Amino acid sequence: MVAAHHVSRRVWTAVGLIAAAALIAAYYRLGPESGLYPRCMFRQLTGLDCPGCGSQRAIHALLHGHVAEAWGYNALLLVEMPLIALLLAAGSMRRRFPRLHAALNSRSLTVTLLATIIGWTIIRNILNI
């Protein structure tokens, strides 16, 4: 018999999916003008955009099907979204696909992503994009 306090992986998956759906619904309904989105501490302290500045507005625009608007808010987010999805999938299926998981968690990919993020931060602040 399974202990009452043991919660199966399926239950946690269902809870996670419901939470994700609720978060997506909230992002869809509440626009950036609602004032509920947190402000960027880096931008408040330095006056510069961090690599993530505009991501919340970009996600909101994407949920409404406005890809060009999302690109204007944070192009790096749109470029990296497929990679983020792949990283999440590979992490959850690492037992099934250990080589994919290892490749995506390699030092070279980490360094490349870090360099891309730093480069994006510099470029977007120099070009004011």
Number of domains, the chain: 2
Same domain assignment for residues 13 and 67: no
pLDDT of residue 2: 53
- What share of the chain in percent tops pLDDT 70? 95
Q: Do 22 and 76 share a domain, yes or no?
A: no
Q: Is the pLDDT of residue 45 over 70?
A: yes
Where on the phi/psi map is residue 45: left (φ > 0), alpha (ψ -120 to 50), or beta? alpha
In degrees and rounded to multiples of 5, residue 96 shows phi and psi of -80, -35
Spatial distance between the Cα atoms of 81 and 98, rounded to a whole number of angstroms: 22
Q: Say whether both 52 and 115 belong to one domain.
A: yes
pLDDT at 80: 92
Residue 118's pLDDT is what?
A: 95
Distance CA 65, CA 54 (A): 16
Task: Check residue 117 and give its pLDDT.
Answer: 94
Q: Indicate the average pLDDT of the chain.
A: 87
Domain that holds residue 111: 39-127
> Is the domain of 116 the same as that of 59?
yes
- Mean of the pLDDT values across residues 3-23? 80
What would the pLDDT profile of 71-104 be if each residue is shown by its tens digit?
Answer: 999 999 999 999 888 888 888 888 888 888 888 8
Within this chain, do residues 16 and 44 fall inside the same structural domain, yes or no? no
Rounded to an integer, the average pLDDT of 94-119 is 90
Residue in the block written with tokens 């939470």: 19
